[in-house]
Amino acid sequence: MATRILIVDDHALLREGIKHILSEYPDLVVAGEADNGLDALAKLHAENWDIVVLDMSMPGKSGIELIKQIKSEKPKLPILILSMYKEDSYAVRVLKAGASGYLCKDNAELQLVHAIRKVAKGGLFVSPTVAENLAVEMLTGTPDAPTHTLLSDREYQIFLSIAHGKGITDIAHELNLSVKTVSTHKTRLMRKMNFANVAELIHYTIKQGLITEEDGG
């Protein structure tokens, strides 16, 4: 029986690209698509699925928040995350939230089929580096954990968006939050990280390998 896949991504071109890659494999069937979190949740309740291939960043409900909601409502449903962010940026957090795999979109064409098959069968798809980082994250009281690991999931989401050069208004629109709420999160994370300005934040993310210099503008 073919694996029924729900693709959740707000970019139609990327959804088409995924369908094109999978079209050569009769055991993998894209049986549905959604372009936002609410649509995805509706489709998850309407039909049975074997795996969800989920974009990390979409307007409204997305990312860690959406993963947690899906897993609370469909605890046995495997989730594979497709993300523009490097593995070091988000992989450990999404796995702890309940996802079963993390694949950077830059590597999707080469690894997507293997990742879907592995995750759909109940496996875990991550790089060796991420597996090691996950093991370290699961250990309590690690004294040398990077400062950014202390941020909440929402703070971390905003932290990375700022590092990618996005303004408060744009971030608020993407996350379906008020500008005031995003501004409050920014103030809090800047204080936690002891950053005096955004330049220091960007320098930190580059140094930690969370983004590249090109990403940070």
Q: Are 138 and 107 in contact (CB under 8 A)?
A: no
Backbone phi, psi, residue 34, to 5°: -145, 145
- Most confident region among 114-118, 151-155, 205-209 by mean pLDDT: 114-118
Same domain, 80 and 168: no
Model confidence at 142, pLDDT cuts 50, 70, 90, reads low
**Structural element, H or E, at residue 3:** strand 3-8
Range(s) of the domain holding residue 70: 3-137
* 8 A C-beta contact, residue 91 and residue 43: no
**Residues 186/158, Cβ–Cβ less than 8 Å:** yes
The model's pTM: 0.72
User: Which domain-ending residue is among 112, 137, 162?
Assistant: 137
Q: At 8, which CATH number?
A: 3.40.50.2300
Q: Is residue 109 assigned to a domain?
A: yes
Co-location of 188 and 93 in the same domain: no
Say whether both 109 and 188 belong to one domain. no
For 66, 84, 163, 195, the CA distances from 207, given in Å and listed in that order, are 29, 19, 12, 14
Q: Could you say which DSSP state residue 147 is in?
A: G
In a domain, 79, yes or no: yes
- Cα–Cα distance, 80 to 77 (Å, whole number): 10
Domain end residue (candidates: 116, 137, 158): 137
Same domain, 31 and 121: yes
pLDDT tens profile 106-139 = 878 889 999 999 999 999 998 777 777 666 666 6
Q: Are 213 and 97 within 8 A, CB to CB?
A: no
In a domain, residue 213? The reply is no
Number of domains in the chain: 2
CB atoms within 10 A of CB 131: 14
Q: Which of these three, 137, 169, 190, is where a domain ends?
A: 137
Q: What is the DSSP string of 82-138?
A: EESS-HHHHHHHHHHHT-SEEEEGGGHHHHHHHHHHHHHTT--B--HHHHHHHHHHH
* 78 and 9 within one domain: yes
Contact status, residue 29 vs residue 3, Cβ threshold 8 Å = yes
Do 110 and 21 share a domain, yes or no?
Answer: yes
Residues 30 and 123 in one domain: yes
| 35, amino acid identity | D
11 and 36 inside one domain: yes
Q: What is the pLDDT of residues 21-75, one digit of tens each?
A: 999 999 999 999 999 989 999 999 999 999 999 998 787 777 888 999 999 999 9
Are 171 and 152 within one domain? yes
Residue 118 in contact with residue 103, Cβ under 8 Å? Answer: no
